[in-house]
A and B are shown apart, each in its own frame.
Chain A
Amino acid sequence: MHGVVDPASAILASAEQPHGKLLEVRDLTVEFATRRGIVRAVEKVNLTLAKGETLGIVGESGSGKSVTSYTVMRILDRAGRIAEGAISFSGIDVAHASEREMRDLRGREMSMIFQNPRAALNPIRKVGHQIGDVLLQHVQAEPRNVKEKVIDILNQVRIARPEERYHAYPFELSGGMCQRIVIALALACRPQLLIADEPTTGLDVTTQKAVMELVTELTRARGMSTVLITHDLGLAATYCDTVMVMEKGKVVETAPAEQIFRNPQHPYTRKLMRATPRPGIVLGDLLPEGEGGVAAHSAPAVATSDVPLLKVENLIKEYPRQGAPSPLFAKFTGKAVDPKDAIFRAVDGISFEVKKGESVGLVGESGCGKSTTSTIVMRLIDPTAGRITFDGQDIGAIPARSFAHHPIRRRIQMVFQDPTESLNPRYTAARAIADPLLRMGGMGGLRGGAALDDKVEELARMVGLPADLLDRFPHQLSGGQKARVGIARAIALKPDLVILDEPTAALDVSVQAVVLNLLEELKQTLGMSYLFVSHDLHVVRLLCDRVIVMRQGRVVEEGTSQEVLEAPKDAYTRELIAAIPHPPV
């Protein structure tokens, strides 16, 4: 037939293979029409998925991993189209199937779970009804028994009190619970293929573990095939049979999970592998081979002294609880308000020290009070009670609003979580770095001029920011470059203490590797102390001498990084460490 292989016969041939391929993608190219013209999001992608197999698609942002999976489901948005290639799903030509055929496949034969489970659910429809809609659509239930079936499915995804939850709205459920509902929705009709698109990003590690275990158990029990899309190599290593690595729309390597981690072939895979934090390595190991990095973290150049720089004692921060009756209201109704109901303690009496030249990690899951603590130490908000001593001076007593003019202000600086949001969109990189010098560095006024430019360029050099990028605005810089600007601004005044608030959480792993090494190098050159706030124990371990683990506003464990990671004393710390997926060491 004109020298082209008839797709139907090709599919027929593949369907006859002994192990049974469920999904086969050949030379898939997807294009998007944008304001800047046609953009190729995915180029010549090939993949095969056998029945019961779990395939991990790994890549950094913009690698095309999500687009590939949306194309398989044919739920690309309007601007995207399949330019080339064939997709066959259990004998059906997906690229050319009618919308009606696709609708019957979606939800019944192939389904998907998404990142950000709360947004993935209709906010104003009861979750039970949302699951019921899918069952009714695919004639898996009838109106008279649909509720029964939904409750049965809720039971399967381990939702406690399913009769009650049936009537819940998404906003009444926790993030982890919402993800269970999304899983229930996806598995309701017992499909053959499940595509999980970053299913646990944004969830805490312990919740992540529970969700992933649930998915694995349910799909395995039903003999389903799974595609797990993730940026996290550790997650792919833990849960997948085969791993496919993508970069800029192309597949660079596909191999069994074990093999890809033991013996990565492609340079990009090797780089990605090395950049992923895992037990038993030092900071320099994150960088590509031959790029060295910091000498060796095991032997710090600047010896940690015993002089405490920062001392926090019995720090407490209370907030009025949302939706709690106000005292005035209580007076009207005559009902006494229990102070426990009205007040929420974000930080509940914690104490710790940071010594000169030391890096201390503050670790915990969302809502544990670590960010509140760091913001108080930063003197941006006032504590409810407790003492904060910095270099012998009680700075906790100085109100946050007047701290801007205090001489100690310049000695405590911060690197923010989101590099984009922490830069004024109307300031160039140079202006952002110069800001502290102008305000507190004595370089304001007309004297500044050339000296200021020199200083800004020197700082840019220190953080590895090319001088020609200094005239750019934040939206013209990449994530890593913006992070460098933020770091340059923080170190401009040679502070004694820098608070790092999840400084790499918004960055891809390869950029994270570079930024972490840069931070270590700067610390050694400038002799600063770090207070590193993070949710990721593996990252913290690489940069910090000591680790403090927090939970519900309290410190549960404190010790050297090695002690805490290798021999955790507290049960919660053990749970936390066990929950972090990582590639085989």
Chain B
Amino acid sequence: MTAVPSAPSRRRGSGGLAATLKHAHYVISDNPVTGLAFFMLLVLVVAAVFGPFIVPHDPLASNTMSALQPPSATHWFGTDQLGRDIFSRVIVATRLDLAIAVFSVALVFAAGGIAGIAAGFFGGWTDRIVGRICDTIMAFPLFVLAMGIVAALGNTVTNIVIATAIINFPLYARVARAEAAIRRQAGFVQAARLTGNSEWRILLTQILPNILPIMMVQMSLTMGYAILNAAGLSFIGLGVRPPTAEWGIMVAEGATFIVSGEWWIALFPGLSLMFAVFCFNLLGDGLRDIVDPQRRT
């Protein structure tokens, strides 16, 4: 096939995107919670990108003179046992926490999405192999498997990303598989076969564009889970090492001081985690409304 795929010129420049944006605007104005989620996302992105430049103190500079101070005008979130400024550490940690989640989700989106769509569309052996891999991963409690993988691969941030991607693989592969499988025999796919599209072209032009939005929702919903998972791993001492600023490890450091009443060390990184996860969960629900208004819950 030498022909370059091209849409009829009638469609160029009009419709599609504008209509989607219009619908998105409608959904946001109809559901202010989704608007709030977008605002929260903006806050997170700003903190992740500009964090190191806007914080008032050096997140790694310890000062034993001012250790374990409660929140004050100088140290908004107080200081930890080494006298480091918790506010600065919390802001700077955003980049690392989000990066781990974004990379692992991107990885699993590509791998799980491709495997799932192939399994659903081609069926047969592809389906059986992907299904078996999913079943095997799902036979483990996921966090426990992530612990095992990080322990085996080595205690690094990269391996946290890989482990988080692996445990999320079945979620993506199964959603993609189910969506591809119901469309495999759909009328419009059959119609595309009749008009001379090859199976690969059908996969790319008919199936994929219809599944992508659903996968995007899945992505947003699992972002929160990926953040929690990575933070959980560093809470038990895997992946990120001190003195790096990361929310999970900061909560772990603060845990010792909770019983003696120094609540601020664990509280603020913990709240940041909640904020990020809550943001992506709300966003996922909102995106689902945009993609599929019928599935509103």
- Chain A directly contacts chain B within the complex, with at least one CB pair under 8 Å: yes
Residues of A within 8 A of B (CB): 35, 378, 380, 401, 404-405, 409-410, 412-414, 416-418, 421-428, 430-432, 434-436, 438-440, 444-446, 448-450, 452-453, 456, 470-471, 473, 486, 489-490, 492-493
Q: Is the CB of B11 within 8 A of A428?
A: yes
> Considering only CB atoms, which chain A residue lies closest to B15 in the complex?
A471
CB distance from A470 to the nearest CB of B (A): 7
Q: Is the CB of B8 within 8 A of A378?
A: no
Known contacts A416-B190, A421-B186, A438-B3: does B195 contact A431 (CB below 8 Å)? no
Asked whether B187 is an interface residue with its Cβ less than 8 Å from the other chain, the reply is yes
Task: Determine the chain A residues whose CB is within 8 A of the CB of B141 once the complex forms.
Answer: none
Q: Is the CB of A416 within 8 A of B187?
A: yes
Q: Mark B209-231, 1 if CB is under 8 A from A, else 0.
A: 11000000000000000000000
Task: Determine the chain B residues whose CB is within 8 A of the CB of A427 once the complex forms.
Answer: 188
Q: Mark B262-278, 1 if CB is under 8 A from A, else 0.
A: 00000000000000000
The answer for the CA separation of A417 and B187 in the assembled complex, in Å, is 8
Partner of B11, one of A414, A430, A440: A430
Partner of A444, one of B3, B9, B192, B209: B3
Q: Is the CB of A436 within 8 A of B196?
A: yes
Known contacts A409-B196, A421-B186, A431-B11: does B191 contact A446 (CB below 8 Å)? no
The answer for the CA separation of A284 and B156 in the assembled complex, in Å, is 77
> Considering only CB atoms, which chain B residue lies closest to A444 in the complex?
B3
Task: Determine the chain B residues whose CB is within 8 A of the CB of A436 once the complex forms.
Answer: 194-196
Asked whether B5 is an interface residue with its Cβ less than 8 Å from the other chain, the reply is yes
Known contacts A404-B193, A409-B196, A414-B191: does B9 contact A449 (CB below 8 Å)? yes
> Considering only CB atoms, which chain B residue lies closest to A414 in the complex?
B194
Task: Determine the chain A residues whose CB is within 8 A of the CB of B194 once the complex forms.
Answer: 378, 380, 409, 412-414, 436, 490
Task: Determine the chain A residues whose CB is within 8 A of the CB of B136 once the complex forms.
Answer: none
Task: Determine the chain A residues whose CB is within 8 A of the CB of B206 once the complex forms.
Answer: 424
Q: Is the CB of A410 within 8 A of B6?
A: no
Q: Is the CB of B188 within 8 A of A422?
A: yes
Q: Is the CB of B199 within 8 A of A450?
A: no
Known contacts A405-B198, A410-B196, A440-B195: does B188 contact A434 (CB below 8 Å)? no
Task: Determine the chain A residues whose CB is within 8 A of the CB of B4 once the complex forms.
Answer: 444-446
Partner of A439, one of B14, B188, B195: B195
The answer for the CA separation of A492 and B194 in the assembled complex, in Å, is 12
The answer for the CA separation of A471 and B16 in the assembled complex, in Å, is 10
CB distance from B211 to the nearest CB of A (A): 11
Q: Is the CB of A446 within 8 A of B6?
A: yes
> Considering only CB atoms, which chain B residue lies closest to A442 in the complex?
B3
The answer for the CA separation of A426 and B19 in the assembled complex, in Å, is 12
The answer for the CA separation of A380 and B193 in the assembled complex, in Å, is 8
A423-B188, A448-B8, A453-B8 known; 8 new pairs, CB 8 Å cut-off, are: A404-B197, A414-B194, A423-B187, A431-B8, A439-B3, A456-B10, A473-B19, A490-B194
Q: Is the CB of B9 within 8 A of A422?
A: no
Q: Mark B14-29, 1 if CB is under 8 A from A, else 0.
A: 1100010000000000
Q: Is the CB of B10 within 8 A of A471?
A: yes
CB distance from B25 to the nearest CB of A (A): 15
The answer for the CA separation of A401 and B170 in the assembled complex, in Å, is 29
Q: Is the CB of A452 within 8 A of B9?
A: yes
> Considering only CB atoms, which chain A residue lies closest to B213 in the complex?
A426
Give residues of chain B (169-186) contacting chain A, Cβ–Cβ below 8 Å. Answer: 186
Closest A-B pairs by Cβ, 4 of them: A422-B187, A444-B3, A436-B195, A440-B196
Known contacts A423-B188, A424-B188: does B9 contact A450 (CB below 8 Å)? yes
Q: Is the CB of A453 within 8 A of B195?
A: no
Q: Is the CB of A471 within 8 A of B14?
A: yes
Asked whether B7 is an interface residue with its Cβ less than 8 Å from the other chain, the reply is yes
Task: Determine the chain B residues whose CB is within 8 A of the CB of A440 once the complex forms.
Answer: 195-196
The answer for the CA separation of A422 and B195 in the assembled complex, in Å, is 13
CB distance from B6 to the nearest CB of A (A): 6
Q: Is the CB of B190 within 8 A of A380?
A: yes
The answer for the CA separation of A121 and B112 in the assembled complex, in Å, is 39
The answer for the CA separation of A416 and B187 in the assembled complex, in Å, is 7
Task: Determine the chain B residues whose CB is within 8 A of the CB of A431 once the complex forms.
Answer: 7-8, 11
Q: Is the CB of B210 within 8 A of A489?
A: no
Task: Determine the chain A residues whose CB is within 8 A of the CB of B195 once the complex forms.
Answer: 435-436, 439-440, 489, 492-493
